[in-house]
Structure 1
Amino acid sequence: MDLNTVTTIIPARHRDDLRALGPGVVPLAGGSELFADPRVHLSGLVDLQTFEWPALTVTDDDGLEIAATCTLAQLSRLPARPDWTAHPLFFQCCTALFGSFKVWNVATVGGNLATALPAGPMITLAVALDAELLVWRADGRDERMPAANFVTGNMTTVLDEGDVLRSIHVSAQRLGSRTAYRKIALSPLGRSGAVLVGRLDTDGTFVLTVTAGTVRPVQLRFAALPSADAVHSRIDAIDDWFTDAHGAADWRQAVSAVLAREILEELTHGAPAENSEARA
């Protein structure tokens, strides 16, 4: 969709260029969501792609840094490493966004996080792996925070006017964890109704991340693999379920309990359930 009220596009090459951000001037990354609806209040854009941040940076000690401008296509092609047991989760979460190759080639990891739709799969990925986000605050400060604290509600985040999400960091320790992924939607190509990821760390800690069915990500942590009843009880206690065209709140809660049980079974015995990623 044309943004016919926009009269200026500023190519950002230095952090000072972000000072142009304001009530009618917003960041432009891939634009797949920005150009999806009329934005008559906008008069300008600041293009973040011209920073030319490296999409993916891997170091043996620190793990993986994902630039906010990294596209889903780039992330989906992330090469595997022998010590990255969690590597399949990157592609799995990318496939939760059902878009054409055109969308995958422009939609960015940072844009998906900052849009903060409950079904945002990059939110699922970042929270499930306990990623650390780097935010450039408008006053010049750098702020690092857990991904679990970034999204505050349906399409709301901790970002204030003029702030920019710079990068997402996943530690080498989390990349070495075992993961199990489940997604469900009302139709094969529909927006996610619930997306859950289980993570089993090398010290035995079990973390279940519940997204898409809740207005913000929910993490359930256990010191060791819990019983199915314990997980079910914790899911029943979640009060952030919501209803929209992509699923009713009670349905989202019910299917999340089923998916959580499958995740627990897979991480306990190592065998994923058949067709677990293609339900309707």
Structure 2
Amino acid sequence: MSEAAIVVDRVGRRFGALEAVRDVTLSVERGEIFGLVGPDGAGKTTLMRMLAGVLHPDTGRIVLEGIDVAADPERAKTALGYMPQRFGLYEDLTVAENAFFYGELFEVPRARYRERLAQLIDAAGLAPFTRRLAGQLSGGMKQKLGLVCALIHTPKVLLLDEPTTGVDPVSRRDFWAILYRLRDEGVTIVMSTAYMDEAQRCTRLALLHAGEVRECAAPASLKRRLHGTLLAIGGSDPRAIRAALASAPGVLGVLLMGDRVHVHVDDSVGRTAELEARLTANGLAHGPIETVEPGIEDVFVALVGETA
């Protein structure tokens, strides 16, 4: 990989007694799609806002494309596009007017602005809607317009804070198609997400918990770190199955996944019969106990030592 686009060195941030981010160190290589994953309150948004220069760290240092973000936030902003959870679109302006506003804000030369806008509007599928008020757009279209505005000045780094939360599956798919094109163009992307299927699309992931980075690696590498075996059990009452198996011998963790329960065990061969016997003793009907490949959510729960 090429040299780092972002270097985060022992960064911390407090809000009164709350330590939102604690001693975070990581680097993001140029051209990566780097994911921040963690539950609410893990510190994802605080870290993202510090990367964008909106918040200053209490300790440590962030360097983005060779620029110290805290020391020179205005210069850093020219190198990055930032799309927070609630992007600041003006709902009483049209799609074109919102884009024009951000072009002026970043002092994009008019000729370059027209060229760039045409590219972005076409990629986002917004060409038929340039005269529509932003307030009349669907949630997915608003997010795509937000992305157009964040990219209008051709940043080298794009920061996205849970950009597809609440967006329909088709719009999420379109949004990711745009991100892949940006990556191919050399744009470095850092995004936080609550969707585990999205997390698995990232080049690397940082797993955040209680303000700390617990693990940082490629999704496939993280999955290999899950020792033992993952079993999936379906049934009419998955919550009861989870409760019955949580304290069973050899069970390292349990996770409710829709109508099935993922059970992390130390030895599938020796434990399957024991789990079946325990469920029978509790009068719980269930389907076959199957060995499955772990997902990022399974890995996260195992690595942070929680059950959910």
Q: TM-score range by the shorter chain?
A: under 0.3
More helix by share: 2
State TM-score, norm by structure 2. 0.25
Which structure would you say has the larger Rg?
2
Greater RCO (Cα-Cα under 8 Å, separation 6 or more): 2
